[in-house]
Amino acid sequence: MNIAAQHIVDMLSVGGLYALMALGIGLIFGIMRLVNFAHGELVMIGGYAIWLIADLPGPLIVVLSLAIVAIFALAMERIAFRPLRDASPATLLVAAFAVSYFLQNLAMLIFGARPKPFTFADGLIENVVVFGLRVPQLQILSLVLTILALAGLALFLKRTRMGVQMRAAAQDFRMARLVGIPANRIIALAFLVSGILAWVVSLIYAAQIGQLSPTMGLQPVIIGFVATVIGGLGSLTGAAIGGFVVGCLSVGLQIMLPGDLREFREAFLFAALLLVLLVRPAGIVATSALKERV
Amino acid sequence: MPQAPNAGAGEGTGRLMASGVSVSFAGVQALQDVTVTLAMGEVLGLIGPNGAGKTTLVNVLTGFQKSDAGALVIDDKEVTGWAPHRIGRAGLARTFQAARLFGQMTVRENIELAALSANPVRSRARREADRIIDWMRLGDLRGRMADALPHGDQRRVGVARALASSPRYLLLDEPAAGLNEHESEELLAAIARIRADFGCGLLLIEHNIGLIMEVSDRIHVLSDGRSLAEGTPESVRADPEVRRAYLGTTDDGPSVPARGRGDDPVSGTTVRPPLLAVEDLVVRHGSVEALRGVTIEAGVGELVAVVGPNGAGKTSLLQAITALVRPAGGRIVLDGVSNGRKTVEDIVAAGVALVPEGRQVFPALTVAENLAIGARDASDGAKTIWRVDGLLEEFPILRERADMPAGRLSGGEQQQLAIARALAGNPRLLLLDEPSLGLAPLVIERVYEMLRQIHDSGVTILLVEQDAARALDVADRTYVLRSGLVELSGPSDAVLADVAFDRAYFGFPDQSAAS
Amino acid sequence: MGRGARGIFVAAWPVIVLSLLLVAIVVAAGYASPSVQRVITEMLIRVVIVVGAYIFIGNSGVLSFGHVGFMAIGAYVTAWLTIPVAQKPYVLPDLPAFLASAEWANLPAALAAGAAASFIALVFGAALMRLSGIAASIGTFAMLVIVQTVFSHWDEMTGGASSLYGLPTYTTMTVALAWAVVTMVAAFAYQQSNSGFRLRSSREDPVAAASFGVNIHRERLTAFVVSAFFVGIGGVLHAHFLGIVVASSFFLATTFLLIAMLVIGGISSLSGAVIGVVVVSLLAELLRRAEGGIDLGVFVIPGGPGLREVGLAFVMLVILVFRPNGLMNGREIGLPRMVRLRPARDGGPILKSSESSE
């Protein structure tokens, strides 16, 4: 019983993290058909930003690291993606791959390839008992942060004018322009929001793995991609669902695989996801984003 | 004359038949129990107003769309549900509206590829391609890259490509779209030669009704997804149902409403200062010339209709006005200021709102959100008339469904929402693209009633319609657009009364010339 | 027949020129230092890999991030087959008996390794090739992760994350050149084949291609399998060049290099693929030397690991923005002083993805 509850908590927290990742990627794809590889590097930048300014007071760390990630998110749109706005999705994908690689190796150049310890969360490894469950503090904090971020995003998208505009733009960018939503501003805003999401992921993810490396964004971004494809490219709801599906599957495999196969978990995970795509090539929430017009 | 390749057509006894085909998309019935047959050696014309289901039928025939019911048979072989490439090999070839050549391949390679589908031995396919090239007199273009060709040549290569696959049945999708008079005549001649030299059955889908009537043995008319009529060109032309399907239904003919029209009874030009002036506008989509020098004006407070069959360039006109496409020539002047290099955002800010074809509401946003998103105060200090609350009063059905995702509204409700969304921007100029498309008569009634009210409130309206009767009924002035040119214009009642109207709209050849 | 010897010569001209170019480089390098020869050998191995990947990516227009996985398969299979029996107990003590006792000659081992890569391509491709455009590209990524995970954790077969050593180092400049030429000829032959012809038409317009009898799924799968063979061979050459195999070397860095070479050279022509390898190898070598730091007199650009990659990524972005069809602009090297009927083309999208993006 307790174990089952523990598993559910695990699935929710992992799934939530993946959903945050998938939403950040899905938002950009919906609006400009860009599969943003470099989203993972925003996570990496968030980690290093905190590490760099670790000696400042807490609130300042939060504000400054967020600002740094946001600036990078906006800058990559302005410098790399805006000149390519009319390019095909495949060209955009290659460009995003290049941006990702550029930032990864820039970090390598500046900070070196060796991982840096990320020790902020070390005080949080102790278990606390909640509703009869022994849960690490860090997991509780992660879960709370994830829920706050998801709720915040939902509120922003539902309740604010800009949020509604952004959803509209993600559904039909051209029509959105025709009802007076300015293209440049809404794209910049989308990158800003995806930057904030990446920053939240970086807090949680860096604390969980306990170290920083230039390539740390890779794992989450690949998971995020697959989650958006599984959920249905072009749908924000789909991205969130896809994140949770991948999270549950990942935790489920961890539980169910026998010990000696556990280290192959990732292979099983991706193979399972490919199978899902075979059954539903357009994802769980199919949109017209990928539909061929004859 | 080069020798005609007697492509594997063989004896002329086969038949292509689609029977009882039904297709629905998300609850909308696109085709209902449609049966079409095409014999070898025959030319069948497929016509129907926009939204009639022609494209869906073509997609079913070519295997790109699965039908919910019905069977597809090619020469006694049941091919229902086959993938497109298998249907292609079974003897059905096609051309495309937008040519769809293999852009970065030479003309010869384009044709050779098609020949390969009938003949997997490469050297034979190449010989066949060369024969077709000679037959179509494309020799000069043989080594040219397909995407570097002008539009007319792309069309010819498209036809050659289809012929190279030795089809028993050939489907020509809008072959005359974007062609000038001379090229259209060449096309007619080519169709006659294809039939004589290849003996295949030809299915011709075409908006240029004049042209299709001239070459077809039989005409099949689709309307609202159903077969409306089938018969000889003469019988179809005489059929009042067909005329009504295109021009719209009014029981007692267009009536001139008493109000709102008086200031300038008969002259063809506006006395009011023009809010919108389109001068000599040329629009190209790739190599297709959609508009070839169109001049249109709309005075402040006027309701101007632009009618014409699909393919006339109506949507291109609206795209140019809203800066979605850049004109290739001419200019657009809005309230005395030339559009020049303005962006879509600038145009919207200047007080232009569009109700697009097919509504295009944001399906996952609620009704209220759809409205809120377009809301803005009137520009240039004009009075802000429409507020979201007021609009919800104005459209009670929308208030009822305010929290429902717009995608779940019916077509008519979506159309009302699209209009309300545009009004929420307090536009000075309201553009509507085929607002009656796909709606039931009663709903169309309601939409047009709404247009009258908006007109009365002083908003300038440019209405683009295929349903000419309704548009003319409500508009102050009307332009008839066909093949990218204004064929006729003037006060609406004068236009409708004009004997030249049918010719202008349909492009029927003069009776004297035809016989 | 449609064309005689002259016709074939004209059509094969790019392969002849490119082969001569590589031969000339090798001959020149014969007079240079061993370190230069190693650089050239590496470049020739990359020609095999990039041209191999081009067979699929270039002709289909579908971007693949997974091809480096085929390199890994090639490298490991040749390792299993060629590491001397005497050494195997030290390197891979848990290897199954039939592999532990195997010691194949180099060429059969290479062919078997390529075939193994092809087989895996067939399995994955059967699923992936059904997806369209962007989804397929992301799917190939999943494939790369799967291959990477398996090889880096399959302790009894791969030694896990540690490296396999003891492979005969037979990849000399000449061997690499021979395979590079073979791969180019094969790529050219595929391009000219019915399958390649049909696949290229589907790259230009999938809907029209299907209408003219092209089974896109089958042609893509064919190219994927052929392509995997040569990329697998590339992995073999790579393994026998270094003498060791490490799983982690077949991941993102190599994928990036592969994509960068294709994009910079121009993704849709064989000449573009080869020129991309030559140019990027040159650039990478220059940047590698600069990793010690560049002294510009006025100021010094600090060096360090990563500079090469940063520079390459930057060049790739610049190419994407300013010359989206790559250096070769989608064309093959032309015949000298012959009037070619090909008109100039403006740069369209570098890849035609199969979905419309409105």
Domains of chain C, residue spans: 7-249
pLDDT at B239 (0 to 100): 87
Q: What is the mean pLDDT of residues B21-35?
A: 86
Structure confidence by residue, pLDDT tens digits, B38-75: 999 999 999 988 778 888 899 999 999 889 999 999 99
Whether A178 sits inside 8 A of B373 (CB atoms) is: no
Q: Does C141 touch chain A (CB under 8 A)?
A: yes
Q: Which token pair is A287?
A: 């949109």
Q: What distance in Å separates the CA atoms of residue A202 and residue B9, rounded to the nearest whole number?
A: 67
Q: Which token pair is C348?
A: 């369209």
Q: Does C323 touch chain A (CB under 8 A)?
A: no
**pLDDT confidence tier of residue C294, bands split at 50, 70 and 90:** low
Structure confidence by residue, pLDDT tens digits, B134-157: 999 999 999 999 988 888 888 889
The type of residue at A215 is T
Question: Using CB atoms, which residue from C130, C134, C317 is nearest to A233?
Answer: C134
Q: Kindly list the domain boundaries of chain B, sorted by start residue.
A: 15-247, 274-497
Residue C348 has pLDDT above 60, yes or no: no
Residue A133 has pLDDT above 80, yes or no: no
Chain mean pLDDT for chain A: 88
Q: C325: nearest CA in chain A? A: A91
Residue B265 has pLDDT above 50, yes or no: no
Residue C281 has pLDDT above 70, yes or no: yes
Question: Using CB atoms, which residue from C194, C201, C213 is nearest to B122?
Answer: C194
Residue B253 has pLDDT above 60, yes or no: no
Q: C198: nearest CA in chain B? A: B113
CATH number of B274-497: 3.40.50.300
Q: Chain C neighbours among A 245-264 (CB < 8 Å)?
A: 263-264
Which positions in chain C touch B88 (Cβ < 8 Å)? 210-214
Structure confidence by residue, pLDDT tens digits, B63-72: 998 899 999 9
Domain range spanning residue A245? 2-290
Q: Does A91 touch chain C (CB under 8 A)?
A: yes
Q: Does A178 touch chain C (CB under 8 A)?
A: no
Residue C204 has pLDDT above 90, yes or no: yes
Q: What distance in Å separates the CA atoms of residue C275 and residue C124, rounded to the nearest whole number?
A: 30
Tell me which of C130, C158, C356 to substitute to probe the interface with A (most A C-beta atoms closer than 10 Å).
C356
pLDDT at B473 (0 to 100): 87
Which positions in chain A touch C132 (Cβ < 8 Å)? 281, 290, 292
Residue B444 has pLDDT above 80, yes or no: yes
pLDDT at C12 (0 to 100): 86
* Residue that has been written with the tokens 């007071």 in this structure: A57
- The burial class, CB within 10 Å (0-12 / 13-18 / 19+), for A3 is exposed
Whether A171 sits inside 8 A of B364 (CB atoms) is: yes
Structure confidence by residue, pLDDT tens digits, B283-337: 988 777 889 999 999 999 999 999 987 778 888 999 999 999 999 999 999 988 8
pLDDT at C6 (0 to 100): 73
Which positions in chain A touch B364 (Cβ < 8 Å)? 167, 171, 235, 237
Q: What distance in Å separates the CA atoms of residue A189 and residue A197, rounded to the nearest whole number?
A: 12
Q: Chain B neighbours among A 192-251 (CB < 8 Å)?
A: 235, 237
Closest C-alpha to B509, from B71, B79, B188, B43: B188
What is the total count of domains within chain A? 1
Residue C296 has pLDDT above 80, yes or no: no
Size of interface A-C (CB pairs under 8 A): 164
Q: How far is C186 from chain B (nearest CA, A)?
A: 18
Q: What distance in Å separates the CA atoms of residue B429 and residue B352, rounded to the nearest whole number?
A: 5
Higher pLDDT: C147 or A9? It is C147
Q: B360: nearest CA in chain A? A: A175
* Residue that has been written with the tokens 């010819």 in this structure: B156
Which positions in chain B touch C213 (Cβ < 8 Å)? 85-86, 88-89, 116-118, 165
Q: Which token pair is A166?
A: 């952004």
pLDDT at A285 (0 to 100): 80
pLDDT at A260 (0 to 100): 83
Tell me which of B59, B113, B133 to substitute to probe the interface with C (most C C-beta atoms closer than 10 Å).
B113
pLDDT at C40 (0 to 100): 95
Question: Using CB atoms, which residue from A179, A182, A294 is nearest to B373?
Answer: A179
CA distances from B59 to B83, B96, B169, B173, C216 (A): 11, 11, 15, 11, 18
pLDDT at A289 (0 to 100): 41
Which positions in chain A touch B343 (Cβ < 8 Å)? 183
Whether C132 sits inside 8 A of A104 (CB atoms) is: no
Which positions in chain A touch B318 (Cβ < 8 Å)? none
Q: Count how many Cα atoms sit within 13 Å of the Cα of residue B13 in the half-sphere of its side chain.
A: 2
Chain mean pLDDT for chain C: 87
User: Using CA atoms in the order B432, B280, B275, B314, what is the torsion angle rounded to 10 degrees?
Assistant: 0
Q: Does A212 touch chain C (CB under 8 A)?
A: no
**pLDDT confidence tier of residue B266, bands split at 50, 70 and 90:** very low
Residue C88 has pLDDT above 60, yes or no: yes
pLDDT at B323 (0 to 100): 92
* pLDDT cut 70: percent of chain B above it: 90
B426 — phi, psi (to 5°)? 45, 60
CA distances from A157 to A34, A74, A167, A225 (A): 20, 19, 7, 21
pLDDT at C352 (0 to 100): 40
Residue A120 has pLDDT above 60, yes or no: yes
Q: Which token pair is B493?
A: 């009642």
CATH number of B15-247: 3.40.50.300
Q: Does C58 touch chain A (CB under 8 A)?
A: no
Strand partners, B285: B288
Which positions in chain C touch A274 (Cβ < 8 Å)? 124, 127-128, 139, 142-143
Q: Does B76 touch chain A (CB under 8 A)?
A: no
Structure confidence by residue, pLDDT tens digits, B363-376: 889 999 999 888 88
**Domain containing A147 — which CATH number?**
1.10.3470
pLDDT at B29 (0 to 100): 82
Q: Which token pair is C63?
A: 């971007």
Question: Using CB atoms, which residue from A94, A215, A266 is nearest to C320?
Answer: A94
